[in-house]
Amino acid sequence: MLAISLKSLLAHKVRFLLTAVAIVLGVSLVAGTFIFTDTIDAQFDDLFEDIYSGIDVSVRADVGDFRAETEPFPGDVLDIVLAVEGVEIAEGGVTSLATGVLDKEGDPIGGRGPPTLGFSWAEVPSLTPMRIKEGAGRAPTGSQDIVLDANTVANAGFALGDTVTVVGLSGPEQFELVGIASFGDQDSLLGATIVLFDLEKARELFGYGDEYTGISVQAEAGVTAEELTERISLVLPAGVEAVTGETERNEQVAEINEALSFLSIGLLSFAGVSVFVGAFIIQNTFRIVVAQRIRELALLRAIGATGRQIRSMVIIEALVVGIVGSVLGVGFGFAMAFAIRGMMNAAGMGIPLGALVLLPRAVIAAMLVGMILTLLSSLLPARQASRISPVAAMREEAARTPRRSLHTRALAGSVITGLGVLLIGLGLFVDIGRSIAYVGAGAAIAFMGISVLAPLAASPLADFIGWPLPRLFGISGQLARENTKRQPRRTASTASALMVGVALVVFFAVFGSSTKASINETIFELFPADLTFSSTSQTDPELRAPISPAFAERLGVYDELSVVSAMQFGRVVIEGETQIIGAFDPETIEQVIVLDAIGDAVAAVAARDSVIVSASFLEESGWAVGDTVTAEFAHTGEVALTIVGTYEHGDFGKLFLSSDTYLANFRYMGDSFVFVNAADGVSVLAAQDAISPTVETFGNIKAQTKSEIVEDAEGQIDQALALFTGLLLFAVMIAVLGITNTLTLSIYERTREIGLLRAVGMVRRQVRRMIRWEAVIIATFGAMLGVGIGIILGWAVVRALADEGFGAFRVPVGQVILALVLAAFSGVLAAVWPARKASRMNILDAISNE
Amino acid sequence: MGAGGMLSETEGGSVTGDVAVRYAARLENGVKTYGEGDTAIHALNGATAEFERGRFTAIMGPSGSGKSTLLHCIAGLDTLTSGIAYIGEIDLSTLKDRDLTLLRRERIGFIFQSYNLIPSLSAEENILLPLSIGGKQPDEDWYGTILDTVGLRPRLTHRPSELSGGEQQRVAAARALVSQPEIIFADEPSGNLDSKASAELLGFMRHAVDEFGQTIVMVTHDPGTAAYADRIIFLEDGRIVDEMYDPTADSVLDRLKSLGG
Ligand SMILES: Nc1ncnc2c1ncn2[C@@H]1O[C@H](COP(=O)(O)OP(=O)(O)OP(=O)(O)O)[C@@H](O)[C@H]1O
Ligand SMILES: [Mg+2]
């Protein structure tokens, strides 16, 4: 059987190729995702290996569940450590995320991309990967000195001796670039902007006293890292801990892996869509191929092959195609990884470039997906093949396999679709957890159900879509339309694949524009502030880059402003969960934002150690006003906070302290937002003009009016939409390829018919036109279904999120029409090859009697 | 006749008008070779034949003698290795694919042994196919005459799958006639039909020659079928070896026996 299978594959190279291509595309996004994430992973691994290679023990503040890099501890700990037996050498340093570097134009470097990291220069080379590049200056020694990483220097066009402005806690300050640094032999730390100062200046700039945020220790020969860690731990004061360098590295790697796993889950979901769409195509292809081979298979049956043998033959063929397709898919995955990286970077994610890494798991995952995909896709067609009766070989009109009755189809399709809708409904409207999984699975099942129903709609819809064709293109147009109606099942299957892609694109478009509309409403309703300031440097995305505390202070002197109100954020652990907590000045906050506080909650939070909680989070956590919760701060440890009130509008945050309470419990690194109102009789524009000198000196602070905030938010949504749409394009491409597939196979079936048309006088252009419009009808059919489903799904999700502030449901009509038109046009592309092939078909093949 | 455009568009006509007036199609020293060297097959090996206008000619010969090849080469479906094929005054080898296609559409009709119709079109649409491909309307009188002759009026809206084999071939014959071509080529048109349907079809073809002056060239194996023709040419090993006029089934049979012996 294997031999026959292989021969049959080789004899039908085009079929083989077409099936394989569908698999390649389906698999390649899976492979690409793994290659992409593995590459980033490996880059980080290498980097941390470098950074920690000489460090045996790390001493740092003991802050429990918090990230420790920037929490300081007393400077005399270094003496304690140095005194421990077995310590070869130890050096303390400070790190900060709260710095921004301005480029030559005074704009912040980095933007929304990789963060800016500030370090003190380490004197001991074995304890740091940082080096001054050969001939590129020297280490920072004085309070005017700054060293930047080579990548940043190159990108910003700095040269040694240039003046560089850094915005620290106390505002902008100027330095002289005295050195250019690298990491081992790497010019860039994954694209981050690195600023290095001498220890004293770094402490001043980052707001530390006689403190360190870390001490790196190298053990004497013969002393293990574990031993030394234990010894050091014994003598450390409370609040400071020692871990092995390896532990610290593993923690960092784990943290990054966690962040990456989000990314890879996201990407894999899109890969899943591609695989799902690919399954439609592959199954369709196998089914057509089996239908076309009925005579051949029946002949095998007639000469004695059992149904089982036929079935295994079809499956073996599928597996061979699956293997070949999967292997090629892995190769193609490299291209995908490149494409993903390009798209991420286009969306401003700043992912470092570098050679791609192929790990076994990428290959295994891709192979598994490819094999399972093909195997499952071939099962039904294989079963069908095994049921072909030997007599079929004799009959002229053999190509007709028994069709399920319309009723059965309508019933089965409705039941499956209903099940999918039920799951979506459960996920959206019933609180059962894992709602995204329910919605995803529900959508997949609903798509399948609709694809079962679709053949019922194929004929009428093809008539509808194709009605102008006969008039416009005469017989070519008429035949194009008739051909799509001839095999409704095939047309529907092909269109369904496109339907899935289009539905998701439209869904995101609807969801995005509804979100925008909601944001628009919310911001204008709940944001009385005339201007909002935020930092443009990226440090900690959850907390936002702090604005130098000096900024709000300096704004305070302007008469053009009536209110200056700052908001801070930080992390706190409550009941074992890390939460983001905000803080504001209770006296002024209500003039700049609307919290919809219940009663005098805002005034009440002015009392020390009190907190207000948003109504929804209060309910979620099962707390009540008057309760006391224990909050753990990195800086001050456990503090009992009394819940003194609640507020309706949780968009700004779910937990708020007064700024006083905040300052008592956090190391104040600056403000996340500064809101201002123009004084009476002063226009926002005039106020903006008045304060612009101050804003400009800080460089990395931007002022936004309400409409600019809306625009900004919309811009971010658009960026996300572009990314999603880009990722979905792979699925759409597969679907378009599916049209090519179906058409090509159909053309083989219609060799004689096309030959006849050519014989009685159809010119090649007319043949091409016929195939092209057939493709356009199929594509439009799929796109119309997709648009419908996408809008309905969007509506359901928006409705389900009504509680979370989604007031608006908007269908972006222009975008939807564009999607429809582009999808229809994709039919033209899909048809290029088959149309060419059909128009060049040998007429004699067609009319010779087999 | 709809072929007027062709004359100006193409550069055929290396032959004097007289010959072109007399013969609807001609083959001069036609050679068609498949393959190369030792394994080369000469499907046509210097065949020369003329087909007079208004005549019904049958081509006979043993299987593999090159009948279909000859038909394809004169009808512009295939190209000769050497020699010249003319339709009217036009040398087919001078035409590009597009012009050749237009020539087939406007000046040639076809009836094949099987798979003659487009399954997704009704009988009527199939009949009108050569016209609709050219974006033309049928001449009502002529169309009516054809329909009456083939007797298909009640079945016009049916799809081919709903027609008998005989009916299908009559639709094909009507299609071949509808554009009033200079010549109709038929390759074993009754090969798949029973004797009654076969007689109907051939009677109809004969009628077209007698009443409308249609020129028909038909390949057949069957002496009874060949007897409908005015003239028979016999092919063997790619050459014309004999011909006979006004055949009857018996005389054809005799001739075949003598050729075979
Ligand atoms: N495409 C081709 N490639 C190679 N040889 C061919 C091809 N087409 C035809 N031949 C050969 O050319 C010769 C003539 O073929 P043709 O089809 O013209 O014969 P025929 O007289 O129509 O036979 P039949 O009565 O069986 O239809 C045969 O030997 C055939 O094998
Ligand atoms: Mg033949």
- Grouping H, G, I as helix, E, B as strand and the rest as coil, residue A173 is strand
Q: Do A761 and B118 touch (CB under 8 A)?
A: no
CA A523 to chain centre: 25
Residues A632/A575, Cβ–Cβ less than 8 Å: no
Tokens describing residue A254: 């784990």
Sign of torsion over alpha carbons A758, A764, A766, A771: positive
Judged by average pLDDT, the poorest of A17-26, A316-325, A471-480, B37-46 is A17-26
CA B2 to chain centre: 18
Q: What is the pLDDT of residues A506-548, one digit of tens each?
A: 999 999 999 888 888 777 777 788 888 887 665 555 555 578 8
* Alpha carbon separation from A772 to A394, A763, A818, B115, B244 (Å, rounded): 34, 14, 20, 24, 50
Mean pLDDT score, A376-398:
73
Mean pLDDT score, A409-416:
90
Return d(Cα B83, Cα B80) in angstroms, integer: 7
Q: What is the pLDDT of residues B104-159, one digit of tens each?
A: 998 999 998 877 788 888 999 999 999 988 888 899 998 998 898 888 888 999 99
The residue ranges of DSSP E strands in A161-249, in sequence order, are: 163-168, 171-183, 193-197, 211-212, 214-219, 240-244
Return d(Cα A737, Cα A140) in angstroms, integer: 59
Asked if the structure places residue B2 within a domain, the reply is no
* pLDDT for residue B245: 92
pTM for the structure as a whole: 0.79
pLDDT at position A168 over 80: no
Judged by average pLDDT, the poorest of A286-290, A441-445, A801-805 is A801-805
pLDDT at position A418 over 90: yes
Return d(Cα A243, Cα A241) in angstroms, integer: 7
DSSP code of residue B113: S
Closest CA to B12 of B80, B73, B84: B84
Which has the higher per-residue pLDDT, A296 or A459? A459
CA A391 to chain centre: 55
Return d(Cα B215, Cα B205) in angstroms, integer: 10
* Beta bridge partners of residue A219, listed in sequence order: A87
Return d(Cα A36, Cα A333) in angstroms, integer: 9
Question: Which residue in B98, B105, B113 is closest to A849 by CB distance?
Answer: B113
Q: Which amino acid is at A41?
A: D
Mean pLDDT of chain A: 84
Return d(Cα A29, Cα A501) in angstroms, integer: 14
* pLDDT for residue A393: 58
Return d(Cα A262, Cα A277) in angstroms, integer: 23
Mean pLDDT score, A9-16:
71
* pLDDT for residue A108: 74
Return d(Cα A356, Cα A43) in angstroms, integer: 10
Q: What is the pLDDT of residues A75-86, one digit of tens each?
A: 889 999 999 988
Asked if the structure places residue B1 within a domain, the reply is no
Kindly give the interhelix angle for A13-52 and A2-11, rounded to the nearest 10 degrees. 100
Alpha helices by DSSP H, A430-538? 435-465, 468-486, 488-526
Q: What is the CATH number of the domain that holds B194?
A: 3.40.50.300
* pLDDT for residue A66: 61
Residues 6+ apart with CB under 8 A from B205: B56, B173, B184, B186, B189, B216, B218, B228
DSSP code of residue A547: B
* Beta bridge partners of residue A583, listed in sequence order: A568, A657
Selected for mutation to probe chain B from A760, A764, A769, A850 (highest B CB count within 10 Å) is A760
Which has the higher per-residue pLDDT, A629 or A155? A629
Chain A residues whose CB is inside 8 A of the B114 CB are: 849
pLDDT category of residue A9 using cuts at 50, 70 and 90: low
pLDDT at position A401 over 50: no
Closest CA to B79 of A767, A850, A844, A840: A844
B143 touches chain A (CB under 8 A): no
State the DSSP string of B140-194.
HHHHHHHHHHHT-GGGTT--GGGS-HHHHHHHHHHHHHHT--SEEEEESTTTTS-
The helix (H) or strand (E) run that includes residue A666 is none
B245, B248, B251, B254: CA torsion to nearest 10: 120
Selected for mutation to probe chain B from A395, A400, A472, A475 (highest B CB count within 10 Å) is A475
Closest CA to A171 of A697, A718, A797, A726: A697
Q: Do B110 and A759 touch (CB under 8 A)?
A: yes
Mean pLDDT score, A757-763:
90
Q: What is the largest CA-CA distance in chain B?
A: 56
Q: What is the pLDDT of residues B153-175, one digit of tens each?
A: 889 999 988 898 889 988 999 99
* Alpha carbon separation from B251 to A721, A825, A829, B65, B233 (Å, rounded): 83, 63, 60, 21, 13
Asked if the structure places residue B115 within a domain, the reply is yes
Question: Which residue in B77, B98, B109 is closest to A763 by CB distance?
Answer: B98
Asked if the structure places residue B164 within a domain, the reply is yes
* pLDDT for residue A348: 56
A849 touches chain B (CB under 8 A): yes
Q: What is the pLDDT of residues B211-227, one digit of tens each?
A: 989 999 999 999 999 99
User: How many separate domains does chain B show?
Assistant: 1
Range with the largest mean pLDDT of A111-115, A293-297, B198-202: B198-202
* pLDDT for residue A295: 75
pLDDT at position B210 over 50: yes
* Alpha carbon separation from A355 to A36, A66, A362, A363, A572 (Å, rounded): 10, 34, 16, 17, 39
Residues A273/A501, Cβ–Cβ less than 8 Å: yes
- Grouping H, G, I as helix, E, B as strand and the rest as coil, residue B214 is coil
Residues 6+ apart with CB under 8 A from B261: none
Which has the higher per-residue pLDDT, A546 or A313? A313
What lines the ligand 1 site, CB under 6 Å? B 34, 41, 43, 61, 63-69
Chain A residues whose CB is inside 8 A of the B101 CB are: 758, 761-764
Asked if the structure places residue B178 within a domain, the reply is yes
- Grouping H, G, I as helix, E, B as strand and the rest as coil, residue B167 is helix
Q: Do B106 and A763 touch (CB under 8 A)?
A: no
Residues A595/A650, Cβ–Cβ less than 8 Å: no
pLDDT at position A64 over 70: no
Residues A32/A336, Cβ–Cβ less than 8 Å: yes
What is the CA(B67)–ligand 2 centre distance, in A?
Answer: 6
CA A121 to chain centre: 35
Residues A787/A502, Cβ–Cβ less than 8 Å: yes
Asked if the structure places residue B166 within a domain, the reply is yes
CA atoms within 13 A on the CB side of A604: 18
Q: What is the pLDDT of residues B176-191, one digit of tens each?
A: 989 889 999 999 998 8
Residues A638/A630, Cβ–Cβ less than 8 Å: yes
B102 touches chain A (CB under 8 A): yes
Question: Which residue in B68, B72, B133 is closest to A761 by CB distance?
Answer: B133
pLDDT at position B83 over 90: yes
Strand pairing class (B183-187; B216-219): parallel
pLDDT at position A397 over 50: no
Return d(Cα A781, Cα A763) in angstroms, integer: 27
Mean pLDDT score, B9-22:
58
Return d(Cα B70, Cα B72) in angstroms, integer: 5
A760 touches chain B (CB under 8 A): yes
Neighbours of A750 (CB within 10 A): 23
Q: How far is A821 from chain B (nearest CA, A)?
A: 28
pLDDT at position B16 over 60: no
* pLDDT for residue A351: 67
Cα A623-A629-A631 angle, rounded to 5 deg = 135
Residues A274/A26, Cβ–Cβ less than 8 Å: yes
pLDDT at position A3 over 80: no
Cα end-to-end span (Å), chain A: 26
Strand pairing class (A240-244; A57-61): antiparallel
* pLDDT for residue A39: 85
* pLDDT for residue B7: 41
Closest CA to A194 of A169, A214, A166, A171: A166
Return d(Cα A210, Cα A193) in angstroms, integer: 25
Residue bearing tokens 């597009």: B98
Range of the domain at B86: 8-259
Asked if the structure places residue B3 within a domain, the reply is no
* pLDDT for residue A392: 65
Asked if the structure places residue B56 within a domain, the reply is yes
* pLDDT for residue B6: 41
Mean pLDDT score, B88-117:
89
Nearest-by-CA chain A residue for B135: A474
* pLDDT for residue B12: 45
Q: What is the pLDDT of residues A652-696, one digit of tens each?
A: 888 999 999 998 888 777 788 899 998 888 888 898 888 888 888
What is the CA(B177)–ligand 1 centre distance, in A?
Answer: 27
Percent of chain A at pLDDT above 90?
A: 20
**Interface ipTM:** 0.85
